[in-house]
Structure 1
């Protein structure tokens, strides 16, 4: 350690001799967590970002790559809220064309293009969808014109354009559909990604460029100088310690908690955020015979059947949620709604017994001062509720990078001097550089490490060129390349890497976000809980009692979720889910 110009200590190991950040700077290790607490106390930041979802992580990356001193604090875990519970699509939003939101669609398609080709090709992949046609004469030309507009705006730039199919052709593509459920179809392409892993990678890329990224760090108050906000008071959820973090501007990227954060700051927001609950179910891939995803029109919106490795994700719902923001609960009615709509077109109906996983997320939709004066929107808004504070909300996952850039642009009013323009459209996420070459070398890499080529490709699509760092942990521990007990799709080394490099602090962090075991297996992660906790304990220093506590808390969570999913309404489901013990105990829930 050495001392910087402001008297704070700097980890010289995280910087190369010529001043550029080294790869180590992207680590979110337990040791880095300790150093980051010291940095929060000792340094003066240009920007403090609150919220470790995709927009907050994107804002931290945007600010850091503009040369600003930035800190990101998150009360729970990276992507713990909305950003791990989306439909997992990078898409333009076909249905927004019908609402004449052409700018939103064009912007989203540009972002999808950037992710596929430059920023995150290891994480974002093309996916095809069949749009079944059910009406003669008018529906095919009407839908085709919309898809032509979609393609013309950039939808077919890096993926194939629309392809028209007869009923027989559509059924060859998706044999699992009932013959009387369609008269033809149109195939088009979008893209999907593991949202939690993508958000984590955005945050790690921000850390790589110098941002202080710290989870389990709750904002419990705001600092003021005269009439302006000059920083935040934060609490370490794990230790209970508190300290003040000073900065020029605070950027509130807390999504559905935006209103709560603005109240904590003592400011009146320029917009309100309404929480809309979206529920998805996960079923095994063999339950629906198809070579493509499917998009279905419903009386309210659309329903997606999305390919997800060896599974299908089916959703979503769209209902108001007025209860615990941290843990929206799916009800029996939500699940029945999805099953009823998808079974209307499937040759072999799905049952509750087919469901492997269920998850519910909250969309932060914008609302005006009254419901009569403003419609809910997927557009985002940026406001400056007080000098020294910027809030951003709304939008959609696909356009997170644009939202982040807009937030930092707005923050410029409180920063000293001029700031550089956003360059995140030119900054690949960690793991992107060299990914394509490694894909071509997958068989060779697999042979070198004694892995099946399929397993190596799975790792490459989760870590990209950082796969070398993952595999390096097993050089002296070949047992770490064994499948994880209870979740054989993952290797033991991925758990160790999740703790040593990716900031996982609790069992749920690994089972729910570093991996997706909690939704990909019928046991919801219970069969893997103890083996994962024991692997985490090696790095985090847990004793037998702490291992047992982590497992018990996770078991209680799964039990509560399963029970809530049998309840008829939101209130009953929330009472069950919110009563479960938390791994992280926050002050005055919900705050951030």
Structure 2
């Protein structure tokens, strides 16, 4: 039986040239994995290759919200608000273990960007366009009700607030769950496998030349259609094609910072406007508060976009503006992340004004490129691309089915309804405690992995008995390597657990022991 493991990765590479694929997708972020899932569930033989780890780029560096696009209402992008709002509900239904309702305060101030009437009307329109459920529709709060929700808010000029629901997510884990589901349905997925060129037949792209980044071995994969879903790297991949043709991208950088709630004790998620007219989120999570994002043009290192002192100072000034009772400094910043957004060029517009809509184009050699778009709309983008693929493949005699992802539960999300999730966490955490985990470890494991917690519970006899790690961490590491294709400690700490961002002390404490344990597991399962 196949498992989504580092071991399976090696076997896939060895036999890569033996398979003729219908579709090869380049890029293992949320867009690429979404396309892989849609393709394979329509019966298409599908391969996905990613030069880093899954979600290592933009898909692990967002504001970590599956949101309905309220900011786009301000830009009069009504269609986008309607679409992403409805897609948000679909993501929640299919993955309640990685998508959680989060009530958000939108404070209203004298001489602020939003007035009481415009906020109330805007949120009402938003509820309608996004198809918001009755119990999650907006409310308007008084000044006193607003401060009761969040006492740290600036009091001078405060009139009240809008109160509405966004959906908090772990963007990297959402991407991993999509990838795992695609693999479960029969797709082949490879991380740390870089496309370095294309294969051609009669002037059309017929496959890819790839390099295993870990071993430097070269391979080839043959496919009828190739999709470029590499996010900020789409132009880099287009340049490898003999027919270079693109729309023209611009990159903007978004930075978030993380501060311990001991010094920033935020109770309530806030979406607020800043002195320069932008909108910024402040969100409590796992004992921390994170704040972001910046939005600046960027033309530097796409893999490791830096967090500059200027970025930090800007976000600290935003915090000082909205939460003046705090006295935070750069030293209070525990961690952060910086991501690059690939956006379609629009002359004369600033970074925050450029549309987040997605676009698709095709080169004369047949390379299909998708760029732009939002995390929330990944499934719909994938459906659009796969519809195009299905039509082109049908012309070549390859039949495929209809899109089924709208009602397809993601890996770990096998609940009849999201309402079952809380009960499941209660029951499963008790089972995990019976294995020897403490209550906090057990609840977090059940909550994070959803119905896949059943697999973790079955692994006690498989983990290595020796070593310096507690059972809970051994289970997490083993599962990450054998069921989530984690290869490096960074994969585990950043994209499988999020500890690099939200549990820095835990990462520092266990990093060396986890590194040793991962090597032991890799040697054992060669």
Both structures adopt the same fold (TM-score exceeding 0.5): yes
Match of 1:305 among 268, 282, 286: 282
Match of 1:556 in 2: none
1:409-431 Cα distance to aligned partner (Å, 9 max, x none) = 22235423343222111211011
1:491 aligns with 2:468: no
Extract unaligned runs of 5+ from structure 1. 1-12, 15-26, 543-592
The answer to whether the Cα contact below 8 Å between 1:391 and 1:407 also exists between their aligned partners in 2 is no
Residues 430 and 442, structure 2, Cα contact 8 Å, conserved in 1: no
Preserved CA contact (<8 Å) 1:159 1:189? no
Residue 355 of structure 2 is aligned with which of 377, 392, 396? 377
| 1:361 paired residue number | 339
Please, which of 79, 83, 99 is the counterpart of residue 107 of structure 1? 83
Alpha-carbon distance in structure 2 between the residues aligned to 1:38 and 1:359: 35
Contact 1:233 1:244 in 2 (8 A): yes
Structure 2 counterpart of 1:451, from 433, 437, 443: 437
Partner of 2:97: 122
- For residues 31-46 of structure 1, what are the structure 2 equivalents within 5 Å? 31-46=7-22
Q: Call closer, same or farther: CA 1:212–1:284 in 2, change over 3 Å.
A: same
| 1:356/1:521 contact within 8 Å kept | no
Relative contact order, CA 8 A, sep 6+: which one is greater? 2
Partner residue, 1:329: 306
Q: Secondary structure at the match of 1:412?
A: helix
User: CA RMSD, aligned part only?
Assistant: 2.5
1:424 maps to 405
SS in structure 1 of the partner of residue 376 of structure 2: helix
TM-score by length of 2: 0.92
Q: CA deviation at 1:371?
A: 5.5
SS of equivalent to 1:406: helix
Aligned to 1:317: 294
- Report SS of the residue matched to 2:103: strand
Q: Indicate the SS of the match to 2:326.
A: coil
Q: Does the CA contact (< 8 Å) of 1:389 and 1:411 recur in 2?
A: no
The alpha carbon displacement at 1:97 in A equals 0.3
CA distance in 2, matches of 1:479, 1:136: 63
Question: Is residue 482–residue 492 contact of structure 1 (8 Å, CA) maintained in 2?
Answer: no
Classify the secondary structure of the residue corresponding to 1:363: strand
Please say if residues 357 and 521 of structure 1, whose CA atoms lie closer than 8 Å, have aligned partners that are also in contact. no
1:278 CA drift (Å): 0.1
- Structure 2 counterpart of 1:21: none
The question of 1:265 aligning with 2:233 is answered no
The whole-number CA distance in structure 2 between the counterparts of 1:500 and 1:439 is 23
Where in structure 2 are the equivalents of 1:189-588 lying within 5 Å?
A: 189-298=165-274, 299-346=276-323, 347-367=325-345, 376-415=354-393, 416-417=396-397, 418-434=399-415, 436=421, 438-475=424-461, 491-522=473-504, 525-541=507-523
Task: Please report how far the alpha carbon of residue 482 of structure 1 lies from its aligned counterpart in structure 2 after TM superposition.
Answer: 9.5
Aligned length: 512
Decide which of 109, 112, 135 is 1:134's aligned counterpart.
109
Report if the CA contact (8 A) 1:248-1:414 is conserved: no
Q: Which residue does the alignment assign to 1:560?
A: none
**Partner Cα distance (1:99, 1:480) in 2:** 58
* Cα offsets for 1:284-311 (capped at 9, x unmatched): 2333334320011122421001122221
Contact 1:76 1:217 in 2 (8 A): yes
3-state SS of 1:287 partner: coil
The answer to whether the Cα contact below 8 Å between 2:469 and 2:513 also exists between their aligned partners in 1 is: no
Is 503-512 or 121-130 further displaced after alignment? 503-512
Alpha carbons 2:286, 2:502 under 8 Å: kept: no
State TM-score, norm by structure 1.
Answer: 0.82
TM-aligned CA distance change 1:343 to 1:480, over 3 Å: farther
1:531: Cα distance to partner?
A: 1.3
Bigger Cα displacement from structure 2, 415-424 vs 241-250: 415-424
Q: Is the 8 A contact 1:229 1:386 kept in 2?
A: no
